[in-house]
Chain A
Amino acid sequence: MSPLLLAPLGLAALAAWLLPLLIHLVRRVELETTPFAALRWIGARVQPQRRLRFERPWLLLLRLLLLGLLALLLARLALETPPAAPSARVYVVPGADRDAAAAAFDVADAGWHWLAPGFPRLDEPAPTGPVAVASLLREADARLPAGATLRVVVPRRLGGLDGERVGVAHPLEWRVVDGESPAAAASPAEPVRVAVRHAPGDAGGPRYAEALVAAWNAREPGRYTLDVAPAGTPLDAGASWLFWLAPTRSTEVDDWIRRGGSAVLVTAGEDGDPLWRDATGRVAARERRIGAGRAIALPGAFTPEALPQLLDPAFPADLRAALAGPAPAPDRADASAVQPVPRTDAAAALAGIDRPVRTLDAWLALAIAAAALVERLVAVRRREDGA
């Protein structure tokens, strides 16, 4: 049970020690004047007259103690509770074959956990859906007490990985069994409602939009439904994509995008990251995130004159990809290929992370109150004596 400071900068409050020291010192410097005829026999060479001495040293010590306790409170003094005896723990990645996993390690039942958020026990139902295995591996590694071994049972086809190879600070036992990480439910081609809002009297824009949707429906029949209306008609809740073909747009449209919609805007002067460039290198479309949604800004009107790409055969596919957004990153791999690598540099960094501590704030506050009380008592009593 070793003490440690959660906020060591709080010790800077110890600079306040200067105050009582000065108070007790300054009073000392005042000289008492005494007429003294036998002055010549007072040695002039004995002149250490400003020896560092303090008046009422016990009171001074009490005040220093009080300030020290306050500084400790500010520095968040805590006691590190001794780490539990490193009980053997096994993490099973959901999707691994239960029977094969049970045979992998000879560990008591209490030591088995799912590698899932919160690390539930293995006798609880297996978490459904994908889990961020790489992140959870790092967390489990950080939570392990020093000297323990990280034991993991993984299915052969491991999902939930991210771009970085997992590094662990503890010794690792990595067992691969048959199985496959649950994947995100592959979304069947859910219907997409495409709303088109055009300036009143504009017939060209909607026509191209209709052609685009028709082109998409040619590949995925019946998936895209179209809703063409002049600007000002409210957008229905089911709409997920929007063609806004009017030069100005209301804040409702912005709010709709911000809630998660994808929109094609034809207003000029929009900013954003370049999405496409034409043959001359000029930016032909910009993409920008607005809240949870995305806006694809095309400069100029939705006509072939303003937008030559409109006639490009690949344009419908490009625009569909842009509207659908980026595909999810690949996160699956063969488990034996992504075995975490040991990171010696991380061991020290992990040493102090997330260890169980018990703060002493309440006790410190009590001690401060008691010290303040005693300090007042001592100070007042001595003042009465002096009076």
Chain B
Amino acid sequence: MADTLIPPDVRARLRGLRLATRMPAGGDGLGQHSSRSRGAGLEFAQYRAYEPGDEPRRIDWKLYARSDRYFVREAERDSPLTAWIVLDATGSMAQRDRREAERDKLDAARTLAACTIELALQQGDRFGLVMAGDPLQVVPAGSGARQRDRCRLALAQRRSGGGWPSDAALRPLFERMAPGSLIVFLSDFFDAAAIDLATRLALARREVASLQLIASDEHDFPFHGSHRFVEQESGAERRVDADGVRADFLQRFAAARAQLAQRFASAGIRHAEHLLSEPADAPLRRLFDPRALAAGGAR
């Protein structure tokens, strides 16, 4: 069966990507992510004096030969990561381009979520899925191929609609998403509550990576003549002459995006924009580029 969620070329390019956090993860078990826990591992961390109870095989015998003391060689233990995908499924995600009418923002978000799940699965990480909208839908974190299939089923069945859930409905998320877990936030961020949630999650020591989905129609505003623009969620409409408002809209929209990027940057959120016309791996590459990660980690 052809994979409708992830195009083959995108899947091919996903191999080189890695989900990574800037903060060391603190979980237990063996994984690919650096953690605060010291112990047996590949990456050297420190020497410390031998204490009774340490395993004799962890004593660095070469150092003992030089210094006549017992030192235990400690390495950083790699730990597994829990990746949460928060997907905006509100009405505004039904926005689609006129040029490519059969694919809306939610479809693009589905593809991004599937790619992220695929990456997490490759790395052996746990992953979960939250779809915010009406209703709020949560696939609890888990790992393995069956968890992936559960998430993909939930993704495929999801339809956009409704507004952003209330704070009360979202509060359990803070309990589910442990500090230190990676949260990939897929939204158009047209809801102030969504921005708010991402910021609060980041301040509560979750590693948030946000992807803003932008339709080409919003990016270029290719309309002419008189138009009646209707917002999907509120039903508000505005009758304007498209040529007359284009410059103003583009300027204000760009300013709003820049403001969002700045706000996320100050909250320590990795942020990238995804144009619907570009392939799905491009924003992920920008978001999880090791160099960008290193630069961001220096804060």
Contacts and interface: CB of A to CB of B under 8 A. Distances in A.
Interface stretch (B51-59, B64-72, B249-257, B274-282): B249-257
A37 B238 contact: no
B122 interface: no
B134 interface: no
Contact of A32 (B217, B228, B236): B228
Interface string A19-36: 000000000111111111
B205 interface: no
Contacts of A125: none
Contact of A37 (B190, B223, B252, B256): B190
B197 interface: no
Contacts of A51: 241, 244
A32 B226 contact: yes
B245 interface: yes
B245 A46 contact: yes
Contacts of A31: 226-228, 239
Contacts of A46: 240-241, 244-245, 248
Interface string B196-212: 00000000000000000
Given A42-B240, A44-B238, A46-B240, A37 B232 contact: yes
A34 B240 contact: no
A35 B94 contact: yes
A41 interface: yes
A47 B225 CA distance: 12
B101 to A, nearest CB: 11
Contacts of B227: 31-34
Interface string B227-238: 111111100111
B87 to A, nearest CB: 16
Contacts of A50: 226, 241
A36 B240 CA distance: 13
A39 B236 CA distance: 8
Interface residues of B, number: 36
Q: Bin the interface of chain A by size.
A: 20 to 34
A44 B228 CA distance: 12
A314 interface: no
A49 interface: yes
Which one of A31, A41, A47 has the highest number of Cβ atoms from chain B below 10 Å of its Cβ?
A41
Contacts of B60: none
A28 B230 contact: no
Given A35-B94, A46-B240, A49-B244, A41 B256 contact: yes
A40 B189 CA distance: 13
A349 interface: no
Contacts of A39: 229-231, 236-238
A49 B241 contact: yes
Given A29-B226, A31-B228, A41-B256, A49 B240 contact: yes
Interface string B32-65: 0000000000000000000000000000000000
Contacts of B91: 37
A55 B281 CA distance: 44
Contact of B249 (A29, A41, A48): A41
B188 interface: yes
A38 interface: yes
A293 B231 CA distance: 93
Given A32-B227, A35-B230, A49-B239, A41 B188 contact: no
Interface string B206-224: 0000000001011000010
Contact of A48 (B215, B218, B244): B244
A31 B93 CA distance: 23
A43 interface: yes
B79 interface: no
Nearest to A28: B226
B95 interface: yes
Contacts of A41: 249, 252-253, 256
Contact of A47 (B217, B233, B240, B253): B240
Contacts of A34: 98, 217, 223, 227-230
A65 B96 CA distance: 44
B163 to A, nearest CB: 12
Contacts of A42: 229, 238, 240, 245, 248-249
B260 to A, nearest CB: 12
B241 A36 contact: no
Contacts of A47: 239-241
A36 B236 contact: no
Interface string A47-67: 111110000000000000000
B240 A37 contact: no
Nearest to B214: A38
Interface string A310-349: 0000000000000000000000000000000000000000
B164 to A, nearest CB: 13
A43 B239 contact: no
A34 B223 CA distance: 10
A44 to B, nearest CB: 7
A41 B240 CA distance: 12
Nearest to B254: A41
B229 A36 contact: yes
A49 B249 contact: no
Contacts of A28: 225-226
Given A37-B92, A44-B238, 20 more contacts: A28-B225, A32-B227, A33-B230, A34-B223, A34-B227, A34-B228, A34-B230, A35-B230, A36-B217, A36-B218, A36-B230, A37-B190, A39-B229, A39-B237, A40-B231, A42-B248, A42-B249, A43-B252, A46-B245, A49-B240
23 contacts: A28-B225, A28-B226, A30-B226, A31-B228, A34-B227, A34-B229, A35-B94, A35-B95, A36-B230, A36-B231, A37-B91, A37-B94, A37-B95, A38-B95, A38-B249, A40-B231, A41-B252, A43-B245, A43-B249, A46-B240, A46-B244, A46-B245, A51-B241
Interface of B: 91-96, 98, 105, 188, 190, 215, 217-218, 223, 225-233, 236-241, 244-245, 248-249, 252-253, 256
List 3 tightest A-B contacts by C-beta distance, closest first. Answer: A37-B92, A36-B229, A39-B231
